Structure 1
Amino acid sequence: MIPIHPRIEKLQPYVAGSRPEEGVRALKLNQNENRHPLSPKVEAAIRTLSPEMLQEYPDARCDRLREALSSVHGVPVSSILCGNGSSELITLLFRTFLREGDTVAVPDPTFALYANVADIAGVHVRAVPTDANFHMEPLALAAAAPQAVILANPNAPTGVCVTADRIEKLLQTYNGLVVIDEAYIDFAPDGTSVLGLTERYDHLLVLRTFSKAYSLSGARVGFAAGNKRLIDAMLKGRETFSVNGFAQLVAEAAVTDQAHKNEMVGRILSTRERFAASLQAAGWTVWPSTTNFMLVSPPPGSLVAQKVYEGLLARHIYVRYFAAPRLDDKLRISVGTDEDMDLLLDALLRIERGGDAAMNR
C-alpha cells in the first residue's frame, strides 16, 4: 500500500460553500461572488478569444496584466506577482517563507484556508481571539512572536476591518512577515488598504483577488504585491503557468475599467445597507460590514441559525453556515442584486412566520 503523508492523512480539508446541483435553479449567496454584470471591456475581450489561445502556453509572468495592475495601483511591475486566485498565493507564501515548526498568528475567527494550508505545511497556527464585536488589534497578533502574521482586512467571515495606520504600527514594531489579505478591500472605507506601504516595508505582502469586486470568481486570478526580494522568491516557487491565458485576458480588461468596478461596488453597498435595515426591522441582529457580505443572527428566542440555513436550502437558497464557536448562531449572507435580496428576505420572513415549523426551537 502506498503511504500517505501523515499530515495529509489527518488533514481536515477546507470546505468551500455548497453548490447547487447541475440544472437546479437556485439563489447562490454563500461564496461572496459578485452577481452584477461584467465590465463591457471584459465582454469585449472574451469576444476576441481565438483557438490559438488554447493551443499556446500563456505568458508565464503575466506581464501585460502586471503592467495594467502597476498602472492602476502605482506599484512597480517588479513588485507584483499574479497567481491562480489569492488561494494559490496563500499556499505559495507558506512554501516560500515558512518552515515546518514555525508559527503563524491569525485572528479568530478568520478565513479557514489559512489554517488548512498551515496544517499541510506543518506550521503551527496561533489563533488570537477577536473581541465581542469581532474587532482585532493588529499588535495583538505579534504578541507571541510568530514567524508570520496573516490578517484578512476586511476580515472574513466577520466583515470587520482595521485602518491602515493601525497596521502600520504593527509593521513598525514587528519584524516578521506581515501578510494583509485585501480580498474585500474594494468594499471597505478609504484609509483601509496598505498596498501603498509595500515599498516602504520590506516585510509586508499584500494579497488581492479578482473574485469579488471584479465579478471574476470563475477566472481564478489574484495578485501579491510586496518588496521585490519577496516577490522574486515567490516567483521561484510558483507553478510555471498557473494563470491561464483566458484568465489573464479578462483580468487585464477588468482592471482597466475602474469606473465599471466602482459603479458595481456602489450598487452592492447600497443593496447591503437596504437589506441590513430590512433585517434589523424584522428583529435580526446584523453585524456592521465593510464587505460584500453580512454576518447576521435570527431574532433571539425564535429561530435557530442552522435550521434557517437548512430551510433556505430546501428552497434552493444558499447562504453560509459555520458550525464553529462564536459563529454557530449566525449566518453569513453574500450581497447579491436587489432582486436577490428581496427573494431572500421573503423566504426568511416566511420561515419566521412558521412556514417551516421545524425551524423553531
Structure 2
Amino acid sequence: MIPIHPRIERLQPYVAGERPEAGTRAIKLNQNESPYPTSPSVREALRRLGPELLREYPDALCGRLREALSAVHGIPASRIVCGNGSSELITLLFKTFLREGDAVAIADPTFGLYETTADTFGVRTVRVPADDSFRIDPMRLAEAGPQAVVIANPNAPTGLHLEAANIERLLRSYNGLVVVDEAYIDFAPEGVSVLKLVETYDHLLVLRTFSKAYALCGARIGFAAANERLVRAMLKARETFSVGAVAQLAAEAALADPDYVRLTVSRIAQTRDRFASGLTGLGWSVVPSVANFVLAAPPQDGPSAKELYERLLAERIYVRYFDAPRLSDKLRISIGTDGDMEALLGVLRRFGGNVC
C-alpha cells in the first residue's frame, strides 16, 4: 500500500459551500460570488476568443496582465505575481516563506483556508481571538511571536475592516512576514488598502482576487504584490502554467472596464445595507459589514442558526453555517440581487422569530 504523508492523513480539509445540483433553481448566497455578470468587456473578449489561445501554452509569467495591473494600481509589474486564484497564492506563500515548525498568527475567526494550508506544510497556527465585537488588534497577532501574520482585510466571515494605519503600525514594529488578504477590498471604504505600502515595507505581501468584485470566480485568478525579492522567490516556486490563457484574457478585459466594477460594487453595497436593515427589523443581530456578505445571528426566541440553515436548504436557499466557536449561532449570507434578498427575508419572516 502506498503510504500517505501523516500530515495529509490528519488534515482537516477546507470545506467550501454546497452547490445546488445542476439544473436546480436555487438562491445561492453561500460563496460570496457576485450576483451580477462580469463586465461586457470580458464577454466581448471571450466571444472573440480564437482557437490558438487554447492550442498554445499560456504566458507563464502573465506578462501582459502584470503590466495591466501595474497601470491600474500604480506599482511596478516586477512587484506582482499572478496565480490560480488567491488560494494558489496562499499555498505558494506558505511553500516559499515558511518552514515546517514555524508559526503563523491569524485572527479568530477568519478565513479557514489559512489554517488548512498551514497544516498542509506543518506550520503551526496560532489563533488570536478577536474582541467581543469581532474587531482585530494586529499588534496582538505579533505578540504571539510567529514567523508570519496573516490578516484578511476586510475579514471573512465578519466583513469588518481595519484602517491601513493600524496595519502600518504593525509593519513598523514587527519584522516577520505580514500577509494582508484584500479579497474584499473593492467593497471597503478609502483608507483601508495597504497595497501601495509594498513599495515601503519589504516584509509586506498583499493578496488580491478577481473572484469577488470582478465576478470571475470561475476563471480562478488572483495576484500578490510584494517587494521584488519575495516576488522572484514566488515565481521560482509556483507551478509553471498555473494561470490559463482564458483567465488571463478575462482578467485583462475586466481591468479595462473599471466603471462597470464600480457600478456593480455600489449596487451590491446598497443591497447589503438594505438587507442588513431588514434583518435587524426581524430581530437579528448583524455584524456591520463592508464586504459583499453579512454575518448575523437570528433572534434567540426563534429557530437556531443551524435550524434555519437546514430549513433554508430545504427551500433551496443556500447560505453558510459554520459549526465553530463564536460562529455557531450565526449565518453568513452573501449578497445577491435585490430580488434574492427580498425572497430570503420573506422566507425568514415565514419561519418565525420577530415577525414584521
TM-score, with length taken from structure 2: 0.98
Deviation at 1:354, TM superposition (A): 11
**Structure 1 match to 2:301:** 301
Residue 143 of structure 2 aligns to a residue in which SS?
Answer: coil
Matches within 5 A, 1:12-23: 12-23=12-23
Whether the aligned pair in 1 keeps the contact of 2:105 and 2:126 (CA below 8 Å) is yes
Q: Which residue pairs with 2:336 in the alignment?
A: 336
Report the CA distance between 1:52 and its aligned residue. 1.2
Q: How does 1:269-288 map to 2 (within 5 A)?
A: 269-288=269-288
2 CA distance for matches of 1:106 and 1:270?
Answer: 30
- Corresponding position: 1:168 with 2:198: no
Task: Output the amino acid matched with 2:327.
Answer: L
> Which residue in 1 is equivalent to 2:150?
150
Runs in 1 of length 4+ with deviation above 6 angstroms?
A: none
Code of the residue aligned with 2:231 in structure 1: it is I
The answer as to 2:239 corresponding to 1:239 is yes
- In 1, Cα distance between the equivalents of 2:142 and 2:281? 40
Per-residue deviation, 1:302: 1.3
2:27·2:317 contact (CA, 8 Å) conserved in 1? yes
Following the alignment from structure 2 to structure 1, what is the Cα–Cα distance between the partners of residues 35 and 144?
A: 41
One-letter amino acid of the structure 2 residue matched with residue 163 of structure 1: E
Q: Which amino acid aligns with 2:293?
A: F
Q: Tell me the distance in 1 between the aligned counterparts of 2:344 and 2:300.
A: 19
Give 1:261's aligned residue. Answer: 261
Give me the CA root mean square deviation. Answer: 1.1
Counterparts of residues 190-209 of structure 1 (less than 5 Å)? 190-209=190-209
Q: Deviation of residue 51 (structure 1)?
A: 1.5
- What is the identity, as a one-letter code, of the residue corresponding to 1:244? G
One-letter identity of the residue aligned with 2:98: L
Indicate the residue corresponding to 2:49 in structure 1: 49
Where does residue 179 of structure 2 map in the other structure? 179
Q: CA deviation at 1:353?
A: 6.5
Give me the identity figure in percent: 64
* Alpha carbons of structure 1 residues 353 and 150: separation in structure 2 relative to 1, 3 Å: closer
Q: Partners in 2 of 1:212 and 1:239 — Cα distance?
A: 24
Whole-Å Cα distance in 2 between the matches of residues 354 and 4 of structure 1? 52
Give the drift of 1:3.
Answer: 0.5
The corresponding residue for 1:122 is 122
- Relative to 1, partners in 2 of residues 1:354 and 1:263: Cα closer, same or farther, differing over 3 Å? closer
Query: Take 1:303 and 1:314, find their aligned partners in 2: how far apart are those partners?
Result: 15
In structure 1, distance between residues paired with 2:266 and 2:348 = 25
Tell me how far apart the structure 2 counterparts of residues 265 and 346 of structure 1 sit (CA, whole Å): 24
Q: CA deviation at 1:24?
A: 1.0
Question: Which digits, 9 at most, give the CA deviation of each residue in 1:84-117, with x for residues without a partner?
Answer: 0000000000000000000000000000000000
Contact 2:302 2:353 in 1 (8 A): no
- 1:33-112 correspondence to structure 2 within 5 Å: 33-112=33-112
- Deviation, 1:349, is 1.0
Counterpart check, 1:327 vs 2:331: no
Give 3-state SS (helix, strand or coil) of 1:240's partner: coil
1:233 aligned partner, one-letter code: A
Aligned residues: 355
Shifted more, 102-111 versus 20-29: the winner is: 20-29
Return the alpha-carbon distance in structure 2 between the equivalents of residues 230 and 20 of structure 1: 40
Partner residue of 1:10? 10
Question: How far apart in 2 are the matches of 1:107 and 1:280?
Answer: 26
CA distance, structure 2, for counterparts of residue 327 and residue 145 of structure 1 = 26
Mapped to 1, the partners of 2:211 and 2:354 lie a distance apart of 37
Q: Secondary structure at the match of 1:250?
A: helix
What residue ranges of structure 1 are gaps of 5+ in the alignment? 356-361
Q: Report the secondary structure of 1:136's partner residue.
A: coil
Report the CA distance between 1:37 and its aligned residue.
2.5
Aligned mates of 1:36, 1:179 — CA distance in 2: 29
Which amino acid in 2 is paired with 1:180? Answer: V
C-alpha contact 2:110 2:155 (8 A) present in aligned 1: yes
Partner of 1:25: 25
Deviations 1:6-28 (A, max 9, x none): 00011111100010112211110
Residues of 2 paired with 1:325 and 1:165: CA distance?
Answer: 30
- Does the CA-based 8 Å contact 2:179-2:206 persist in structure 1? yes
Q: CA deviation at 1:163?
A: 0.4
Between the aligned partners of 2:203 and 2:193, the Cα distance in structure 1 is 16
How big is the shift at 1:290? 1.0
5 Å-filtered alignment, 1:209-224, equals 209-224=209-224
Tell me the amino acid that sits aligned with residue 86 of structure 2: S
Amino acid at match of 1:242: S
Cα displacement (A) at 1:352: 1.3
SS of the equivalent of 1:283 reads: coil
Residues 354, 179 of structure 1: alpha-carbon distance in 2 compared, 3 angstrom cutoff: closer
Deviates more, 1:118-127 or 1:299-308: 299-308
Range with greater deviation from structure 2 (19-28 or 148-157) = 19-28
Tell me, in whole angstroms, the C-alpha distance in 1 between the residues paired with 2:43 and 2:15. Answer: 31
Residue in 2 that maps onto 1:113: 113
Structure 2 residue runs without a partner (length 5+)? none
For 1:58, the aligned partner's letter is P
Which of 342-351 and 150-159 deviates more?
342-351
Retained in 1: the 8 A contact 2:320–2:333? yes
Distance between the aligned counterparts of 1:310 and 1:354, measured in 2?
A: 19
CA distance in 1, matches of 2:279, 2:35: 21
Shift in CA distance, 56/331, structure 1 to aligned 2, threshold 3 Å: same
